[in-house]
Amino acid sequence: MPVGMPEFVENPENRCPVILLLDTSGSMSGQPIQELNRGLAAFKEDVLKDSQASLSVEVAIVGFGPVRLIQDFVTIDDFIPPTLAADDLTPMGEAIEYALDLLEERKQSYKDNGILDYRPWVFLITDGSPTDYWEAAAQRVREAEAQRRLSFFAVAVQGADMNKLRQIAPPERSPILLNGLDFRKLFVWLSTSMKRVSSAKIGEATALPAVGWGQISA
């Protein structure tokens, strides 16, 4: 990775990376995927209201069903919310591993370019159960969280396998069951959280807003 990538020369602000790990398997078709698309648009709109967050927050999207990079890391002003379509199975384990690898690469490019970064967020949203081997991915998530290398959030849409999600999510952050299809409220919460994180000092604990969009699964 060459030193002095133009994006970092033009914008040397600290980065706050977030990966959206989105279930695009067949069970999300119809209203769920439509509401998810609306939520993504609301996320962009809300982050853009904050000048600091607009410079700092970087978003990437990994879809699974099949696993693919829908959006590589970009700051919010360059983020064009995609129109997701639902199809195929739920290879959740492969998707998590892919996202963690993508994150490591991005963190290395920050380092190579002298950019400081906040602890990344990985945000998994699913309404299903993994159709592949997911145990190794769960182990990686838990180790990374324990080493404070990322914050992992699991969001369950109606129909998700809560038992598996509890095994994937870190012990200190249980999965959250979304209220209906209230993706818009979820993404505005995510935006508010990102604004708070990006205005804090790196390494400083940030109080997150209350979760008004779902039920925390015990």
The domain limits of the chain are: 6-203+210-216
pLDDT at 1: 42
**Thinking of the domain 6-203+210-216, which architecture would CATH place it in?**
3-Layer(aba) Sandwich (3.40)
Cβ within 8 Å of residue 96, ≥6 positions away: 21, 122, 124, 134, 137, 138, 140, 141, 168
How big is the chain by its Cα radius of gyration, in Å?
Answer: 16
**CA–CA dist 150, 121 (Å, integer):** 6
**CA–CA dist 158, 36 (Å, integer):** 13
Mean pLDDT in order along the chain per 10 residues (218 residues): 74 95 92 95 96 95 93 95 90 96 96 95 94 95 94 94 94 93 95 94 90 85
The pTM of the full predicted model, rounded to 2 decimals, is 0.94
pLDDT at 4: 66
Contact call for residues 74 and 59 (beta carbons, < 8 A): yes
**CA–CA dist 3, 202 (Å, integer):** 22
